[in-house]
Structure 1
Amino acid sequence: MEMYEMYYLAFNKSLAPMLFADPNTGRIFDVNQAFLDLLGYPKHEVMGKTAFELGLLSKEGSWPISIKTKNGSLNYGMASANNLLHNEQTIRFMVLQEQTDLPKSDLVRQESENGNFTLEEMLTQTISLISKISEFRDPYTSGHQKRTQKLACAIASEMKLSVEAINNLSMAAAIHDIGKIYIGTDILNKPGALTQLEYQMLQTHVEVGYEIIKDFKLPWKIPKIVSQHHERLDGSGYPKGLTSSQILLESKILAVADVVEAMNSHRPYRPALGIEAAFQEICSFKGKKYDSEVVEHCVRLFKEKHFDFSFSS
């Protein structure tokens, strides 16, 4: 499955305005409904325009925009673009974020005084989109990622990691199993035990996930965290058999959260094993496979602070 095809899984259902364009000419060849709603154009009129005509630069990265709607008004915000491969041709994928609550002068001031704010919002949109790809492909994976993200961030907070580290961990956790979109549903949803070959195929999701996200304009730690979330302190993990000092702390946290959530949840091939079974796993291998401090904070969250995986409506 090519990058273009993976994005198209989420493209039409996303609430974020998006388009595909030629990176050289700026010619628009597809937009989603959210984009049409933002600009007020019918689709056939947009398809005859270029990104430049609408105030969008056909370049990679993120930048502030003032995009003109059909009625002539301007909407301010941010645009983010990445190159994707489709039929051996490069195309430009663009996501927009509107900021209609700010007048132009305030938007410019905000960008100059706190430039990370709007870029962080665009980064959140990108992570959300990648996560949605998992949701459409495999609902089990999507729910697992969200719950693992919640636990991982709670552990990181207990360990008093920096805001930046927690943000990076949160984004990595939200998409840590994205590589599973390349794994056949006959394996993902198999009701019985996997064969050795099937298990080896399943393990490839880590490297595939890294390959999917490594070229995005993400903080460098996010792809690295994803690539290490199945590594173990004693070198028994995969894909590279890294040992303790070679593994990022954020990955060690994600590893524990990942195991606990997976064991506590129902899977197509088995019922939920329960939280006590998860505790037995991480405590039995504390300091061997799993970081001792991470394990201790994880167990304390459940037993003393009554952590649960549910989300408020």
Structure 2
Amino acid sequence: MGIQHSRLREKNKERAHEKAYSPESPECINIYQEVFNNIKMPIIVTDKNLTIIMVNPHFERFSGFSQIELLGKSIWTFGISEESRKKIEENYSYRNTEPQKSPAKYEITIRDKEGKLRNWVLHNSILPGSEDIVVALQDITQQRDAESRFTASENYYQTIFENTGAATLLLEEDMTISQVNKECEKVLGYKKEKLIGKKWTKIVPESFAEKMKTYHNMRRKDPLSVPLKYKTKLINKEGKLRNGQMAVDLIPGTKTSVATFIDLTEQSRTVQEMENYLKKMQRVLLQAANSLGTALEIRDPYTAGHQRKVAELSAAIAKEMGLPGHQCEGIAAAASLHDIGKITVPSEILSRPGELSELEMAIVRTHCQTGYEIIKDIEFAWPVAEIILQHHERMDGTGYPNGMAGKEILLEARIIAVADVVEAMSSHRPYRPTLGIKKALEEIFNNKGVLYDPDVVDACLRLFKEKNFKFK
């Protein structure tokens, strides 16, 4: 049996040898040509003077230029950025003088025929037996764009963290402090380097430590079983107690807590000063919730700015209706978070061109209830969670999720419903182009008293037709 297997292997080797082509054979050249034409990577071949002598179809598609437009032209005739040009010239000169210094690949930026700037990794090598250069390009635009968005988002969150106006800490599951802001350094008297990596029990008196440990552990098992805010004391660097109120909640999707401490030690503060501090905590909570809105906009670029614009119009309608300033603030806060529930809707559904299926629409419609669940335990000064839950209800009871009608629906939700429709119809969406503000105003006018509150519609129409309201 072993001898038969050995003979079979030898025959297979002989057949493979008979089938092999020499590099110069027509068959081999045809294979190379097929690979060149069908590989999913833009490739050109240039002569030693960087004049284009070959172009594959994928390069034509990426650049927007045809072979006729490219062949015989210098690579400098299409949109290589100035910085990239210097890089190519430097590496090309090294190739002729000090080949060991010329990298086989490096990053460049090129504008296509439509003027769009794209990021590429350029791979280059000399064709054996010639001075011609093979240049292959790997598109990394999406990667660089994602990195840019991530950096911007990271900077945004860091700015909020550092400027809440309250002592704020990040606490890990093992009770380790992973970050503190400048206000925390000020309140406790420690530099952040002395706090990061330490257990937070170091800064809590024993009389409070056990209760806070219980809260810390239960928050990760059953978040609803522990309070978001409670009175406590912290110990500063001098060993003195600081009395205050702690607000703690988990960062969604993690086991990390954000803890904000409002220092109430100085009993000489006036009642007004105390109210200002509580308002500051309210802003901290609103900023934290708005950060979720930013995460939603990063996932769904087509609705980027939608919540902000709806908040802008909702507040203007409320003011036009003569509502008190405090109520106008609550409407703006709820409007800025009204679609927060979409953070759980798959991004491919949110950004899909064309109409959605019934099942996909059912998934999208869950965002009202989901938004309510996300926000309901944050103690705003207004019924923000209920407003979010009701903003797709309609006056005739045909809305969702609960089919509420008329005055059953909160006035704030009725205002946001109108602002939401006007902004959505006047903006571009993946499934249709913008319908324009005229169509949006026709929609609310034609359905005044049917779908939309008539007083709200009248106030909205006055804003656009008499007071020249425009989205910023």
User: TM-score interval w.r.t. the shorter chain?
Assistant: 0.7 to 0.9
Tell whether the 8 Å contact from 2:176 to 2:199 is kept in structure 1 after alignment: yes
Matching of residue 48 in structure 1 with residue 210 in structure 2: no
Q: Give distance in 2, aligned partners of 1:119 and 1:218.
A: 11
Matching of residue 109 in structure 1 with residue 257 in structure 2: no
SS in 2 for 1:207: helix
Matching of residue 185 in structure 1 with residue 347 in structure 2: yes
Aligned to 1:248: 410
Tell whether the 8 Å contact from 1:78 to 1:118 is kept in structure 2 after alignment: no
Aligned to 1:19: 169
Tell whether the 8 Å contact from 2:313 to 2:419 is kept in structure 1 after alignment: yes
Matching of residue 81 in structure 1 with residue 231 in structure 2: no
Q: 2:260 corresponds to which letter in structure 1?
A: V
Aligned to 2:228: 60
Give runs of aligned pairs for residues 113-152 of structure 1, distance below 5 A.
113=272, 115-139=274-298, 140=301, 141-152=303-314
SS in 1 for 2:377: coil
Q: Give distance in 2, aligned partners of 1:71 and 1:266.
A: 58
SS in 1 for 2:466: helix
Which of structures 1 and 2 has the larger relative contact order (alpha carbons within 8 angstroms, sep 6+)? 1
Q: 1:109 corresponds to which letter in structure 2?
A: R
Give runs of aligned pairs for residues 166-245 of structure 1, distance below 5 A.
166-219=328-381, 221-245=383-407
SS in 2 for 1:287: coil
Change (3 A) 1:273 1:86: closer
CA-to-partner distance for each residue in 1:151-209, whole Å, 9 max, x for gaps? 10111011111222112211111111110100011001111111111111000000000
SS in 2 for 1:241: coil
Tell whether the 8 Å contact from 2:169 to 2:180 is kept in structure 1 after alignment: yes
Give runs of aligned pairs for residues 157-168 of structure 1, distance below 5 A.
157-168=319-330
Q: 1:40 corresponds to which letter in structure 2?
A: K
Change (3 A) 1:64 1:147: farther
Higher alpha-carbon deviation: 188-197 or 262-271: 262-271
Higher alpha-carbon deviation: 192-201 or 125-134: 125-134
Tell whether the 8 Å contact from 2:395 to 2:404 is kept in structure 1 after alignment: yes
Tell whether the 8 Å contact from 2:170 to 2:180 is kept in structure 1 after alignment: no
- The unaligned stretches of length 5 or more in structure 2 are 1-152, 163-167, 213-226
SS in 2 for 1:82: strand
Q: Give distance in 2, aligned partners of 1:255 and 1:50.
A: 45
Q: Give distance in 2, aligned partners of 1:275 and 1:98.
A: 48
Higher alpha-carbon deviation: 12-21 or 228-237: 12-21
Q: Give distance in 1, aligned partners of 2:230 and 2:337.
A: 21
Change (3 A) 1:275 1:96: farther
Tell whether the 8 Å contact from 1:229 to 1:251 is kept in structure 2 after alignment: yes
Aligned to 2:467: 305
Q: Give distance in 2, aligned partners of 1:77 and 1:14.
A: 24
Change (3 A) 1:299 1:78: farther
Tell whether the 8 Å contact from 2:161 to 2:181 is kept in structure 1 after alignment: no
Equivalent residue pairs, number: 290
Shift of 1:301: 0.6
SS in 2 for 1:138: helix
Structure of higher CA gyration radius = 2
SS in 1 for 2:295: helix
Question: With structure 2 as the length reference, what TM-score do the two structures score?
Answer: 0.54
Shift of 1:81: 2.2
Shift of 1:80: 2.8
Higher alpha-carbon deviation: 272-281 or 219-228: 219-228
Higher alpha-carbon deviation: 59-68 or 164-173: 59-68
Q: 1:171 corresponds to which letter in structure 2?
A: A
Tell whether the 8 Å contact from 1:131 to 1:142 is kept in structure 2 after alignment: no
Q: Give distance in 1, aligned partners of 2:356 and 2:261.
A: 42
Q: 1:53 corresponds to which letter in structure 2?
A: I
Aligned to 1:4: none
Change (3 A) 1:284 1:76: farther
Q: Give distance in 1, aligned partners of 2:262 and 2:309.
A: 26
Change (3 A) 1:259 1:65: farther
Aligned to 1:6: none
Change (3 A) 1:307 1:37: farther
Shift of 1:130: 1.4
Q: Give distance in 2, aligned partners of 1:136 and 1:244.
A: 34
CA-to-partner distance for each residue in 1:64-106, whole Å, 9 max, x for gaps? 98885x799999997532357878x7x643235799xxxx86x
Matching of residue 31 in structure 1 with residue 179 in structure 2: yes
CA-to-partner distance for each residue in 1:193-241, whole Å, 9 max, x for gaps? 1111111100000000000011112235111111100000001100001
Tell whether the 8 Å contact from 2:365 to 2:400 is kept in structure 1 after alignment: yes
The Cα RMSD (Å) is 3.6
Q: Percent identity over the alignment?
A: 34
- The unaligned stretches of length 5 or more in structure 1 are 1-8
Higher alpha-carbon deviation: 189-198 or 113-122: 113-122
Shift of 1:268: 2.5
Tell whether the 8 Å contact from 2:157 to 2:291 is kept in structure 1 after alignment: no
Change (3 A) 1:41 1:168: same
Q: Give distance in 1, aligned partners of 2:348 and 2:252.
A: 27
Q: Give distance in 1, aligned partners of 2:234 and 2:159.
A: 21
Q: 1:131 corresponds to which letter in structure 2?
A: N
Shift of 1:15: 2.3
Shift of 1:121: 1.9
Tell whether the 8 Å contact from 2:180 to 2:196 is kept in structure 1 after alignment: no
Q: Give distance in 2, aligned partners of 1:170 and 1:67.
A: 38
